[in-house]
């Protein structure tokens, strides 16, 4: 019998499995599809502290520190690049948003520069267009290869003794006398005293059966990846109202994303074809991103896909072991910016699973905040990129 069952092989679940296995815990991770099959494969892959809610900033800072040594920890090149993050302003309204962001985050101790003119922006990123009139720059932000990183976590967990079961979904959690007893799969019941639920957009469905409500709004983001180009831009870039973002991957491909768009399907029944952007979606995306990075307009397409976003009402995740059910730990609702946090989320979930003091203040991430009205409206700036 495993000490801990992890549900979900995205970066959150894989990092939690690694943290626990490294500490000698017996871990089994169930992944319905394959490692990094959902958000952790669809993502832009930005690793940033800038634009974060104040509650999340300490986690993002700790994560950025961990990303610097992840290759060594996991024994694999996760293509982490600390090239900076630019948040661009295209008009005076966006200038005001960026100025306020810089003032607030500097007061919170983040090293964030304000670039007040187009020339100042282009000094750092010559490929940016003349339509950009100002920007924030966080030089300690960066990006990484999301599939490589998530798979590296899963492999490292396996090397430490974790069992990773791909292609096998958890159908339900079993609760007996107020505590976790195990999970049901099509192969039968697996007993466990602790279950970490990190199933991304599918998390609410598994919680609902337990009488717990995680109110997620699921949206979709369109992603375009180009063929390899010579160096264009070192920074991850986004815009003040978060309607597009992008980066150049380590191998030269540009990966650009739309903003968060309405999604009307069932997240449990997604298919690549159903999520794929249409030709006109891609045309719109090229035009939008082209306004700030003109090279995207004609860059040859390699691949395009759609990715689902798990938005909570305050755009903050749930990292919690709710009082209602002993042995249940939740890591979900990352609201489009959980890739960066993965290494830290994994450690936090391991702390919660082992019932020891977590190394961060988690009061903003309790599940109960939605029921007791503590969740505030999200800042648009907290979206991906």
Ligand X SMILES: Cc1cc2nc3c(=O)[nH]c(=O)nc-3n(C[C@H](O)[C@H](O)[C@H](O)COP(=O)(O)OP(=O)(O)OC[C@H]3O[C@@H](n4cnc5c(N)ncnc54)[C@H](O)[C@@H]3O)c2cc1C
Chain residues in the site for ligand X (CB under 6 A): 7-13, 30-33, 37-40, 42-46, 169-170, 198-200, 202, 221, 223, 257, 307, 309, 332, 334, 336-340, 384-385
Nearer to ligand X, 11 or 98 (CB): 11
CA-to-CA distance for 203 and 302, rounded, in angstroms? 32
Q: Is the dihedral of CA 52, 81, 220, 329 positive or negative?
A: negative
How far is residue 56 from each of residues 60, 273, 354, measured CA to CA in Å?
Answer: 6, 34, 22
CB of 337 to ligand X, least distance (A): 4
* Bridge pairing between strands 4-7 and 27-31: parallel
Nearer to ligand X, 30 or 370 (CB): 30
CB of 352 to ligand X, least distance (A): 15
**CB count in 10 Å sphere of residue 359:** 13
Q: What is the dihedral of CA 15, 18, 20, 23, to 10 degrees?
A: -140
Nearer to ligand X, 22 or 150 (CB): 150
Nearer to ligand X, 101 or 340 (CB): 340
CB of 324 to ligand X, least distance (A): 20
Nearer to ligand X, 27 or 133 (CB): 27
With b for 16 or more beta-carbon neighbours within 10 A and e for fewer, the 77-110 pattern comes to ebbbbbbbbbbbbbeeebbebbbebbeebeeeeb
**CB count in 10 Å sphere of residue 285:** 23
CB of 258 to ligand X, least distance (A): 8
CB of 43 to ligand X, least distance (A): 3
H helices of 43-160, where? 57-67, 70-74, 92-107, 118-124, 146-159
CB of 197 to ligand X, least distance (A): 9
Nearer to ligand X, 102 or 256 (CB): 256
CB of 117 to ligand X, least distance (A): 26
Strands (E), the chain: 4-7, 27-31, 46-47, 85-89, 113-115, 134-138, 142-143, 163-166, 170-176, 179-185, 188-191, 194-197, 217-228, 236-239, 244-248, 253-258, 261-262, 301-311, 318-320, 328-332
Nearer to ligand X, 339 or 365 (CB): 339
CB of 91 to ligand X, least distance (A): 23
Nearer to ligand X, 133 or 367 (CB): 367
**Of residues 357, 356, 360, the one with CA closest to residue 25:** 356
Backbone phi, psi, residue 18, to 5°:
-65, -50
**Of residues 154, 146, 147, 150, the one with CA closest to residue 28:** 154
Backbone phi, psi, residue 188, to 5°:
120, -175
Residue nearest to ligand X (CB): 10
Nearer to ligand X, 133 or 221 (CB): 221
CB of 185 to ligand X, least distance (A): 8
Nearer to ligand X, 30 or 365 (CB): 30
Q: 226 - beta bridge partners?
A: 301
CB of 176 to ligand X, least distance (A): 20
């Amino acid at each position: 019998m495993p000490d801990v069952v992890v549900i979900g092989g995205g970066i959150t679940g894989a990092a939690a499995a690694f943290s626990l296995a490294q500490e000698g815990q017996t871990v089994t991770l169930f992944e319905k599809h394959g490692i990094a099959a959902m958000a952790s494969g669809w993502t832009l892959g930005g690793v940033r502290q800038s634009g974060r809610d104040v509650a999340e900033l300490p986690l993002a800072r700790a994560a950025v520190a961990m990303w610097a040594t992840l290759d060594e920890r996991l024994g694999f090149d996760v293509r982490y690049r600390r090239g900076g993050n630019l948040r661009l302003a295209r008009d005076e309204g966006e200038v005001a948003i960026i100025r306020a962001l810089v003032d607030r985050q500097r007061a919170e101790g983040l090293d964030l520069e304000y670039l007040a003119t187009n020339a100042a922006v282009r000094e750092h990123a010559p490929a940016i267009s003349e339509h950009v009139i100002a920007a924030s720059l966080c030089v300690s932000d960066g990006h990484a290869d999301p599939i490589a990183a998530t798979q590296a976590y899963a492999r490292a967990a396996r090397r430490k003794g974790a069992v990773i079961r791909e292609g096998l979904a958890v159908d339900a959690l079993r609760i007996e006398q107020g505590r976790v007893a195990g999970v049901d799969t099509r192969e039968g019941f697996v007993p466990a005293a602790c279950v970490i639920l990190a199933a991304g957009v599918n998390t609410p469905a598994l919680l609902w059966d337990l009488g717990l409500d995680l109110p997620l709004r699921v949206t979709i983001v369109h992603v375009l990846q180009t063929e390899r180009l010579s160096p264009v831009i070192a920074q991850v870039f986004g815009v003040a109202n978060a309607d597009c973002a992008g980066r150049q991957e380590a191998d030269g491909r540009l990966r650009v994303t739309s903003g968060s768009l309405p999604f009307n399907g069932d997240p449990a029944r997604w298919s690549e074809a159903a999520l794929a952007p249409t030709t006109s979606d891609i045309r719109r995306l090229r035009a939008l991103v082209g306004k700030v990075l003109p090279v995207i307009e004609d860059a040859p397409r390699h691949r395009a896909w759609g990715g689902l976003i798990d938005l909570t009402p305050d755009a903050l995740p749930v990292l919690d072991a709710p009082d209602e059910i002993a042995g249940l730990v939740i890591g979900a609702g990352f609201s489009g910016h959980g890739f960066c946090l993965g290494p830290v989320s994994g450690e936090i979930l391991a702390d919660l699973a082992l019932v020891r003091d977590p190394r961060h203040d988690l009061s903003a991430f309790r599940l109960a905040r939605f029921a007791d009205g503590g969740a505030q409206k999200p800042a648009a700036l907290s979206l991906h990129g």
